[in-house]
Structure 1
Amino acid sequence: METKPALSNENNYLDWSVQLKTYLMAQDLWEIVESRSDPPAPEIEAAFKAWSKTNAMVLHVIQMSCQPNRFSDIREISSARIAWDTLAEKYKPKRPDPSSSIAPVPLRKDELLDSSKSGENDEKGNINGDVEIYTELNKALQSGDWNAAKEFLNTHPHAISAKITDTKKTALHVAAEAGHEHIVEELVNIMSEENLEIKDFEGFTALAQASFRGSYRMVECMLGKNKNLTIMGNDEGNIPLILALYNGQLDLARYLYLLTPLEILMPENGTMGAAIVSEAIYNKALDIALDLVKLCPRLAIAQDRIGYCPLYALACMPDYFLGGNELVFWKRWIYSGIHIQSAGPINEIHLNIQKSAGNLSNDKEIIGLGLSSLSQLVSNLQTLLGIKHLYEMKLAHVLSNELLRRMRDQLSISNIQQIRAGRVEDAILRATKEGIFEIVFEMVKANPQLVWSHDARSRNIFSVAVEYRRAKIFSLIHGLNIENGLAGFPDFTNKNNLLHMAGMSAASTSLNQIPGAALKMQRELQWFKEVESIVPSKSHGFLNKEGLTPRQLFTKNHADMMSNGEKWMKDTASSCTVVGALIVTIMFAAAFTVPGGNDQNKGFPIFLNEKLFMVFIVSDALSLFSSSTSVLMFLGILTSRYAEEDFLKSLPTKMIIGLSTIFFSIAAMMTAFSAALFLMLCEQSWIVIPVICLASVPVTLFVLMQFPLLVDMTILTYRHGIFNRKMERWF
């Protein structure tokens, strides 16, 4: 079938690997498993970010296709290729010795037919004869030829319930997998309810095939005859609803959710309910997740199939929260003006089931969600302003915050055993890593003991916040009376204390918003200095497992960044020096070749008494002086010693002055040019005005290209600090 199978042991490894490989190839993801080359270097940000995202997607697919006892084999592996190779090495069957095999004696076709009639029956009495006799039926179903399939079924009535492929698929499985909806309808009409419940070798019914494909027509047809199919899954609990969610068939998933009994989703009945909430979160079906948690709050911290709670899934999705989306000012303005209706009606998914199901195949509308007015609002906004994406983003934020609130409420009444069973600490640490302040704040506030959460290496939430440069989360330490206790303990593995964590290189993603290697180095120094001012004095000289102090570790880990920062500074300064020197030359010459020339008797400029002449000469002087200043600043950058401390204030200050003065000199030069042109061609305004307008082009280009860098550099250099030191007690 087209779904991703679950690896259980060596008995199904080959089928698992073939089908999963086909799926990854269809999604253009197989190359990262097949490639033997090393990943891009972190310094190549764009390539490394793209590789990391693809690797995470493939690794997630591999993890989700493993049974829990197989997932433990690759839990600590972060490379999709290594995870694949690890499973292959452990579970791939060894090739048998040809000399020891015994070739079977082939049967004649009539013997095959007889054997099928007297063959062994499965648990539901369905005939399991040899599949070769069904080749003709299989081809007809694959090609969509119902007449040929019907003729075969009339001749061999037992074939309607027989497993006609090597993977134990029935005719209905094959038709559903091939996507032939008209054949599925015909087959369902002549099948019994029990026939619809027949499973293939993976434990999936034909409804599972249709659910994974997202075919409303097939699903409606099958459920119209046997509604019990919604609760029938394989051994891992993959019911049709989970498969629809897993493959992103969200509208169909909402329909299946309406028809799935709530009783089987309770935590005491297994991991199915928590798995549905987690998959709904991962696949952006927050309405389903929110409704299910509302109906059964205990699912918020119940274990799913891989041992985590749905809170962990939410902690993996920073885009669901405002802090995880960097918006420019005009998008922030539009975002703030979008009003989302109360989440109350959205949760009424269990209303009007029959009406919704009846309309589903006709217009495929989102059922039972109370979103008709909101959908109309989306359409209007998209037409007028083209901001559908912002609306969907804010809707996701509203739903995720409501979901978080309900999870927090459940956490506040849960005991320590329930918290540990759901691995809530792992969720808090993952939220810290992703920079989701809301989750960390709400969860620790609901249960203050979670402030002591730590991973296997004994890193607490503040150590993780420093390692991944999450300033807002780390600022929470100032609202605690035990900040020295949280800051002073090293981890078990490398003996790194909090200041050592600041000395490690930041993840590339945390520095993506900072332009230029020099400013990245400055940001790293600011982090180190800020953390250094917080931790106890004894931490400054503490040696880690490598025998390095925090400062030594910082120098070691940032050597390449400092080298890149030096190169960036010098390249920028060199380019700007050429521009500044050119302006100096031009404006110096212009001061002695004034427009209109000089009086031959007295030597004074002819336009000396004109107001525009004073504008010209003042602008010329300002441009000359400012460009000279910029050249001196850039020369200072080129001749700097480039010590670590220079990146903190000295070098950025010189760059700020240099860029500011060269920007001012360009503007003054264009002003002088415009004034001179007016003086000489004052009666030819039809020429002067367009030319003066063109004179603004260089200034505009400089503003667009360099002014954002100047603003960022000024903010990063002269702001009051990274952390909020005025944080009050928050729990």
Structure 2
Amino acid sequence: MDEVERAGKARKHTQGPYQWAMYENWERLKQHYRDNPRELLDPLTTNNDTALNLVAFTGRKDVLEFLISLIKEAPQLHRALRIKNGQGNTTLHEVAESGNLDAAILLVRLDNRVTAELARLDLDRNGAHDEACYRPALEIQNQMGETPLYRAAAFGHTKLVKYLVSQVEDIEPHLQIHKLSILYIAVIGHHFETALWLQKKYPFLAERKKSNGFTSLQLLAQMPSAFQGNLGKSLWNRLIYKCISNGDDTIDWVPPNQNDDLESKINQPWQSSCSKKIKRWPRMRMKSEEMQKQKALLELTHLLVEKDYSWVENKKTNDVPIFTVPSQEENPISGDDDGEEEETKSIHHNDTPLFIATSTGISQIVKKMLELHPQSVEAHDVDNQQNIFHMAIKHRRLEIFKLVKKSKSVTSRMAMKIDRDGNTLLHQAAYMEYYSTSTQRVGGPALQLQEELRWMVRVQKIMPRHYTMHHNRKGMTAEQLFNSEHTELLQSAQEWMKGTAQSCSTVAALVATVVYAAAYTAPGGYDSNGLPLLRNSAFFVTFAITDTVSLISSLASLVTFLSILTSPFEYQDFYRSLPFRLHLGFTLLFFSLVTTMLTFTATIVLLIHLRKKWTTSLIYVVAFLPVPMLGLMQLPLYKGFSQGLKYILKKIRKIKFSICPARGS
């Protein structure tokens, strides 16, 4: 307890410098150490951080230079540059984390000068010196084994990495620490500009693996969120990137053979000026950084895929699955067979980057792999005897499925493959083991079930017809497997569809009741002959038309939702019939609500049109009506109605073509 108390009193003595450093009161800090230079290397924190560590962490080069100037003796300065905190970080480690290039240059130059001076003096005195004592600060490792160069790469400071690389003599100790390469650590942190530069500088890093066996490309294939940028997908993004790309000197994007182009030199000043002006806006600066990051990611992917040949491995196996149709006497294999291994959802190091990218849905890697290595499409999982089609189908990766399906020959070859468990591609589409609502991007169990049925039909189109009768090792066809796997989803879809139809039919009936009553209550009243007094007004015609349309659409919507409630709710009903009725009912209900609002507006105008004050106020309200309408367009309900309208128009076009068959049919 006495030792702890002494340590606490020692820290209390330095609480002033600590607070000044933490709250960036640099003048007070400099004044304190100007008066007390001997305390400069005293620890300020429980982690044994000195003032130099704290200032270096903030990246203040001017304050750091001032504090170092207070150390007059070379041995003391040599010690100050090498003193470690509780994590083993020196001042240069902290600067590497902050990314301040000027501060790093200051420390490296000081260290080189002081080390050379002390080594020379020691050599003159003793005729020899210990190399370990005068090792450069760049080579010192912290407790995690990180050098300042490795730490700078881990935090994505590309310019600082370039400088430190130019200062080290032997680069190898900095490239791999505890079986974790410097490229791997940069990719983990999503620092793709740094990773790209390192890969260009040291191409052999692409083949280095982590202790768990993953290469950098395998790691990249497990990061779908990194590929979700919108670079190049819109004209606006392309215009922004065109203006800002040449103003960023972080990565040299221009190929070497274009550096001497006269036109690029003429345009460079204007583009640089445009880039600086645009980057003053925070949102544009974020957009610029995201675009640079996405471009670096795509170029890094190209380089890593170019050096990947993991797809070549294609071991032979004696267990070749064949097409089987069990007879009625044969008993299907139980799904609870203990001898059968269950497929794991985890990704292993022996999975190729192509299959990992397919399972995670990163189409950019798959497209680049098929572009640079066309034969990689023939690769298959040795253990499960599954190809890229199996992986794309069971993980519901539609974009990759379409990408591979572009070649009819490849599709025909891949579609006939049967995996180790006797599953065809259609069986993979029936399994829900890898089902995820995030890949469906639809709302509601009924629409999810529809997407699953569509997925089955989509896969069935590329399969040989007789494969629909194939039984896997569990003795089930793809249809039987689909019905078994989707039982719970079917129940949820039935309940959701019934509840939605009942709720919407109630609203439709309420709207129909209101507009029906309004039809027999003309605005302004009736004359002695029973005719509406305002029948000659244009707004009365609007009232009559909109009220009639609202009544018709609400009743049609009610009938549509009632037809849903009387449906048998079987699998085939959810493929086309029920979703079509649901979208039709939503659209009619939405249309009835809109026309009801127009009916109410026409009624108000008819009642107050003789009063100029009220008419003017109403005009103002109508003028600002687009503002809330724009807000309404952002609501999911409106988006559902718009999608429903598109869906109905699409179905109408299909019905039109089916009614008018080709001649000779």
Corresponding position: 1:315 with 2:242 = no
Q: Using the alignment, how far apart are the partners of 1:554 and 1:618 within structure 2?
A: 49
The one-letter amino acid of 1:259's match is L
State the Cα distance separating 1:626 from its structure 2 match: 0.8
Q: Using the alignment, how far apart are the partners of 2:392 and 2:224 within structure 1?
A: 15
Deviations 1:505-538 (A, max 9, x none): 3543633632333222221221121112222335
Q: Using the alignment, how far apart are the partners of 2:190 and 2:397 within structure 1?
A: 25
Q: What is the root-mean-square deviation of aligned Cα atoms in Å?
A: 5.0
State the Cα distance separating 1:650 from its structure 2 match: 1.0
Q: Which runs of 5+ in 2 are unaligned?
A: 19-31, 113-135, 254-267, 314-347, 655-665
Tell me if the contact between 1:502 and 1:527 (Cα under 8 Å) persists in the aligned partners.
yes
The one-letter amino acid of 2:283's match is G
Tell me if the contact between 1:274 and 1:309 (Cα under 8 Å) persists in the aligned partners.
no
Deviations 1:324-346 (A, max 9, x none): 2479x9x9453243224269954
**Partner residue, 2:415:** 487
| Rg (Cα) greater in structure | 2
**Partner residue, 1:712:** 643
Corresponding position: 1:670 with 2:555 = no
User: Which residue, out of 396, 407, 426, partners 2:304?
Assistant: 407
**Partner residue, 2:515:** 587
**Partner residue, 1:446:** 372
User: Which residue, out of 96, 101, 108, partners 1:223?
Assistant: 108
**Partner residue, 1:642:** 569
**Partner residue, 2:584:** 657
Corresponding position: 1:616 with 2:513 = no
Deviations 1:689-711 (A, max 9, x none): 54577686998787554231123
Q: Using the alignment, how far apart are the partners of 1:152 and 1:347 within structure 2?
A: 42
Corresponding position: 1:278 with 2:184 = yes
Deviations 1:529-559 (A, max 9, x none): 1112222335434444544433333333333
**Partner residue, 1:84:** none
User: Which residue, out of 516, 524, 540, partners 1:596?
Assistant: 524
Corresponding position: 1:334 with 2:260 = no
Q: Using the alignment, how far apart are the partners of 1:455 and 1:530 within structure 2?
A: 26
The one-letter amino acid of 2:159's match is R
Residue 577 of structure 1 aligns to a residue whose secondary structure is helix
Tell me if the contact between 1:141 and 1:175 (Cα under 8 Å) persists in the aligned partners.
no
Q: Using the alignment, how far apart are the partners of 1:232 and 1:379 within structure 2?
A: 38
User: Which residue, out of 661, 682, 700, partners 2:609?
Assistant: 682
**Partner residue, 2:359:** 433
The one-letter amino acid of 1:254's match is K
Q: Using the alignment, how far apart are the partners of 1:403 and 1:166 within structure 2?
A: 41
Residue 181 of structure 2 aligns to a residue whose secondary structure is helix
Q: Which moved more, 1:174-183 or 1:281-290?
A: 174-183
Tell me if the contact between 1:613 and 1:679 (Cα under 8 Å) persists in the aligned partners.
yes
User: Which residue, out of 554, 558, 567, partners 2:486?
Assistant: 558
Corresponding position: 1:289 with 2:220 = no
Go from structure 1 to structure 2 and tell me whether the alpha carbon gap of 1:270 and 1:379 turns closer, same or farther (over 3 Å shift).
closer
Tell me if the contact between 2:404 and 2:411 (Cα under 8 Å) persists in the aligned partners.
yes
Deviations 1:250-272 (A, max 9, x none): 34x63144212587556998679
Go from structure 1 to structure 2 and tell me whether the alpha carbon gap of 1:276 and 1:185 turns closer, same or farther (over 3 Å shift).
farther
User: Which residue, out of 481, 499, 507, partners 2:426?
Assistant: 499
Report 1:14-93 matches (<5 A).
Answer: none
**Partner residue, 1:607:** 534
**Partner residue, 1:35:** none
Residue 339 of structure 1 aligns to a residue whose secondary structure is helix
Go from structure 1 to structure 2 and tell me whether the alpha carbon gap of 1:175 and 1:388 turns closer, same or farther (over 3 Å shift).
closer
State the Cα distance separating 1:579 from its structure 2 match: 2.1
Corresponding position: 1:389 with 2:283 = no
The one-letter amino acid of 2:236's match is I
Tell me if the contact between 1:287 and 1:399 (Cα under 8 Å) persists in the aligned partners.
yes
Tell me if the contact between 1:264 and 1:273 (Cα under 8 Å) persists in the aligned partners.
no
Q: Using the alignment, how far apart are the partners of 2:269 and 2:509 within structure 1?
A: 64
Tell me if the contact between 1:286 and 1:400 (Cα under 8 Å) persists in the aligned partners.
yes
Q: Which moved more, 1:334-343 or 1:566-575?
A: 334-343
Go from structure 1 to structure 2 and tell me whether the alpha carbon gap of 1:306 and 1:668 turns closer, same or farther (over 3 Å shift).
same
Deviations 1:2-35 (A, max 9, x none): xxxxxxxxxxxxxxxxxxxxxxxxxxxxxxxxxx
Tell me if the contact between 2:179 and 2:209 (Cα under 8 Å) persists in the aligned partners.
no
Go from structure 1 to structure 2 and tell me whether the alpha carbon gap of 1:484 and 1:575 turns closer, same or farther (over 3 Å shift).
same
Go from structure 1 to structure 2 and tell me whether the alpha carbon gap of 1:487 and 1:132 turns closer, same or farther (over 3 Å shift).
farther
Q: Which moved more, 1:179-188 or 1:477-486?
A: 179-188
Q: Using the alignment, how far apart are the partners of 2:163 and 2:178 within structure 1?
A: 16
Report 1:154-553 matches (<5 A).
Answer: 190-191=75-76, 207-208=92-93, 211-212=96-97, 222-226=107-111, 228-233=136-141, 238-246=146-154, 248=155, 250-251=156-157, 254-261=159-166, 264-265=170-171, 275-304=181-210, 306-321=212-227, 324-325=228-229, 332=234, 334-340=236-242, 341=245, 346-347=250-251, 380-381=277-278, 386-411=283-308, 426-451=352-377, 452-454=379-381, 456-480=383-407, 481-492=409-420, 495-505=422-432, 506-508=434-436, 510-511=438-439, 513-544=441-472, 546-553=474-481
Q: Using the alignment, how far apart are the partners of 2:92 and 2:5 within structure 1?
A: 25
User: TM-score, normalised to structure 2's length?
Assistant: 0.67
State the Cα distance separating 1:390 from its structure 2 match: 3.0
Q: Using the alignment, how far apart are the partners of 2:593 and 2:5 within structure 1?
A: 83
Q: Which moved more, 1:188-197 or 1:309-318?
A: 188-197
Q: Using the alignment, how far apart are the partners of 1:712 and 1:198 within structure 2?
A: 65
Go from structure 1 to structure 2 and tell me whether the alpha carbon gap of 1:651 and 1:701 turns closer, same or farther (over 3 Å shift).
farther
Paired residue total: 550
Q: Using the alignment, how far apart are the partners of 1:391 and 1:178 within structure 2?
A: 26
Residue 482 of structure 1 aligns to a residue whose secondary structure is helix
Tell me if the contact between 1:172 and 1:184 (Cα under 8 Å) persists in the aligned partners.
no
Tell me if the contact between 1:245 and 1:279 (Cα under 8 Å) persists in the aligned partners.
yes
Go from structure 1 to structure 2 and tell me whether the alpha carbon gap of 1:189 and 1:514 turns closer, same or farther (over 3 Å shift).
farther
Go from structure 1 to structure 2 and tell me whether the alpha carbon gap of 1:268 and 1:139 turns closer, same or farther (over 3 Å shift).
closer
| Identity across matched positions, percent | 26
Q: Which moved more, 1:143-152 or 1:556-565?
A: 143-152
Q: Using the alignment, how far apart are the partners of 2:175 and 2:604 within structure 1?
A: 85
State the Cα distance separating 1:622 from its structure 2 match: 1.2
Residue 600 of structure 1 aligns to a residue whose secondary structure is coil
Tell me if the contact between 1:425 and 1:454 (Cα under 8 Å) persists in the aligned partners.
yes
Go from structure 1 to structure 2 and tell me whether the alpha carbon gap of 1:580 and 1:438 turns closer, same or farther (over 3 Å shift).
same
Go from structure 1 to structure 2 and tell me whether the alpha carbon gap of 1:269 and 1:556 turns closer, same or farther (over 3 Å shift).
same
Q: Which moved more, 1:442-451 or 1:476-485?
A: 476-485
State the Cα distance separating 1:278 from its structure 2 match: 2.5
Tell me if the contact between 1:301 and 1:424 (Cα under 8 Å) persists in the aligned partners.
no
Tell me if the contact between 2:446 and 2:494 (Cα under 8 Å) persists in the aligned partners.
yes
